[in-house]
C-alpha cells in the first residue's frame, strides 16, 4: 500500500504546495539568475523539475525493491516520505 499511496499523494501534495507558494508571484526563480543573459530560464526550470521527477521515480522504484517484511515497515515509510519530500522541494526551489 505504501508505494501506491506515495505515487498518488506525492504529486498531489507537491502540486498543491506549488500552487500555494507561487500564487500571484510573477518573478523568475532565483536559479534563473545564471541563465538570464541567454534567456534560458525555461530550460533551467524544466531541467530542475526533471531532476526532481527522476529522483522521485528512483526512490519510488526503491520502495518496490524493499522486501515486504513487517520489520521493514519503518524503512518503507521513511523511503516514501523522502520520495515525497523530493517532489515537494521543487516548488520550494521555484519560490526561492
Contact 49, 90 (CB under 8 A): yes
pLDDT at 86 over 90: yes
Alpha carbon 19 to its chain centroid, in Å, reads: 14
How far is residue 6's CA from residue 77's CA, in Å, rounded to a whole number? 9
Q: What is the pLDDT of residue 21?
A: 78
Nearest C-alpha neighbor of 90 from the set 35, 36, 24, 21: 21
pLDDT at 53 over 90: yes
Task: Provide the mean pLDDT of the chain.
Answer: 85
Q: For the residues 4-25, what does the mean pLDDT come to?
A: 83
Amino acid at each position: 500500500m505504501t508505494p501506491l499511496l506515495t505515487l498518488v499523494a506525492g504529486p498531489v501534495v507537491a502540486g498543491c504546495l506549488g500552487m500555494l507558494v507561487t500564487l500571484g508571484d510573477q518573478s523568475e526563480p532565483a536559479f534563473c539568475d545564471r541563465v538570464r543573459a541567454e534567456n534560458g530560464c525555461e530550460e533551467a526550470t524544466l531541467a530542475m523539475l526533471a531532476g526532481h521527477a527522476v529522483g522521485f521515480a528512483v526512490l519510488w522504484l526503491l520502495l518496490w525493491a524493499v522486501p515486504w517484511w513487517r520489520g521493514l515497515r519503518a524503512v518503507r515509510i521513511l523511503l516514501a516520505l523522502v520520495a515525497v519530500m523530493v517532489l515537494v522541494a521543487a516548488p520550494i526551489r521555484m519560490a526561492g
